[in-house]
Structure 1
Amino acid sequence: MEKVIAALWAPAGESRADFGGRLLQSLPAALAGAGASGIRLNLRDAVVADADALVQQWQAPQQDAVVQFWLPSANARFRGEIDALLGRASARFAAWLVCESTIIANTAHPAQAGQRTPGWSQASFISFRADMTRAAAVAHWHGHHTRVAIETQTNFEYVQNLIVHPLTDDAPAYDAFVEECFPLEAMVDPAVFFDAIGNPAKFEANLAAMNDSCAGFIDFSRIDVLPTSQFDFSPATQSA
């Protein structure tokens, strides 16, 4: 099995809300019918509007939604129906083959099939620093930053996806996709985000540690960070 992540852009004239609603109603079932499994939608809807200040942007226009899923093979020879579905559902899509690592599984607020997962999901498309080798960036990310991200935040789900290679010709040149779920309050309260409610000293320490660690491997001029609502359609949640 291979995991695919696709960024989706809304057609001109269709609001982000209408685009997300349409995807939610039709895309997961269509992808499942074409052989995809473990389907997850990340939508930029009204629930996460309060997190707009946390958006970081490289692409213009920026992605309006993300869909994640697994295929028996992501080889283009077997992906025709999937690509056609994504193309019909959006004005543009870009897709990548990724290697997934679940750092923190969501056991605190388990997803229910087809329902919005509690809290909110920060979906981050990141690029590594140009002055580092890929091996050095991955070593910092996995060997140092992972610990920092666990210890300094209130993330109750944390999934790292290392991009193996793009699957579409015009896919932005990202190196990784990261999804982290937080309590709703973390959208507007940095002390909640950095697990430091009522403790200014801890907040400053956690913020500094996170900023320093991110600067150690991320090119901030080539990232897109999106606040999203997560909708999971995976078999694991369907059988719960």
Structure 2
Amino acid sequence: MEKVIAALWAAPDQDRDAFNERLRTTLPAALRAAGASTVRINLRDAAVAPAHKLIQQWQDPQQDAVVQFWLPSANGLFRAEADAALAAHSSRFAAWLVAESTIIPNTAHPVPTGERGWGWSQASFISFRPDLSRLDAIKIWHSHHTRVAIDTQANFEYVQNLVVRPLTEGAPGYDAFVEECFPAEAMDDPAAFFDAVGDPAKLQANLATMMDSCGRFIDFTRIDIIPTSQYDC
């Protein structure tokens, strides 16, 4: 089995609520008919509007949704039906083959299939610093930063996806996709995000530690970070 991450764009004049509803209600079945399993959809919707200050943008326009799923093979010879389903539900899409690593599984707030996940999900497309080799960047990310992200944040789900290769022509050159889930309060309360409610000193320490760690391997000029509502379909 291979995991695919796809970024989807709505047409500029498309009603965003209608776009989201169609993704949520008809895309999962279309992907399953194409051989996909474990479909997850991350939607930019009104529920995550309070997190707008956390958006970081490289792509213009920025992606409107993210779809994650598994296929027996992501080889182009066997992916045509899945690509057709994505194309039929968006004005355009980009896809990547990834290697998933679940750092913190969501055991705290399990959600029934088809319902919106508790809290919200920060979907991060990241690129590594150009002055680092890929192996060095991964070493910093896995051997140092992973522990920092666990210790300094109130994330109850944390999944790392290392990009193996792009699957579509012109896909942005990201190196990884990271999904982290937080309580709703963390959308607009830094203390809730950094697990420091009622403790200003801890907030400043956790924020500084996290930013320093990110700066060791991330190229902040080539990242897209979007708040989303998470659906396992």
Q: Give the alignment's TM-score, normalised by structure 2.
A: 0.99
Question: 1:77-88 counterparts in 2 under 5 A?
Answer: 77-88=77-88
CA distance in 2, matches of 1:81, 1:195: 43
Shift of 1:142: 0.1
Secondary structure of 2:125's aligned partner: strand
Secondary structure of 2:41's aligned partner: strand
Secondary structure of 1:38's aligned partner: strand
Secondary structure of 1:210's aligned partner: helix
Secondary structure of 1:181's aligned partner: strand
Residue 112, structure 1, aligned to residue 115, structure 2: no
For residues 199-218 of structure 1, the C-alpha deviation after alignment (integer angstroms, 9 at most, x for no partner) is 11111100000000000000
Amino acid at match of 1:5: I
Amino acid at match of 1:97: L
Contact kept in structure 2, 1:48 and 1:187, CA below 8 Å: yes
Aligned to 1:159: 159
CA distance in 2, matches of 1:101, 1:46: 29
In the alignment, structure 2 segments of 5+ residues that lack a partner are none
CA distance in 2, matches of 1:231, 1:209: 31
Amino acid at match of 1:81: E
For residues 65-117 of structure 1, the C-alpha deviation after alignment (integer angstroms, 9 at most, x for no partner) is 00000000000000011111111110000000000000000000012101001
Runs of 4+ in structure 1 deviating by more than 6 angstroms, as ranges, are none
Residue 44, structure 1, aligned to residue 47, structure 2: no
Aligned to 1:238: none
Shift of 1:165: 0.2
Question: 1:88-237 counterparts in 2 under 5 A?
Answer: 88-233=88-233
Shift of 1:12: 2.7
For residues 183-204 of structure 1, the C-alpha deviation after alignment (integer angstroms, 9 at most, x for no partner) is 0000010000000011111111
Residue-pair matches, total: 233
Contact kept in structure 2, 1:145 and 1:213, CA below 8 Å: yes
Secondary structure of 1:220's aligned partner: coil
Aligned to 1:19: 19
RMSD of Structure 2 on Structure 1 (CA): 0.6
Secondary structure of 1:51's aligned partner: helix
Contact kept in structure 2, 1:121 and 1:182, CA below 8 Å: yes
Amino acid at match of 1:148: V
CA distance in 1, matches of 2:164, 2:224: 18
Shift of 1:17: 2.0
Identity, in percent, stands at 69
CA distance in 2, matches of 1:15, 1:228: 17
Amino acid at match of 1:224: D
CA distance in 2, matches of 1:18, 1:228: 16
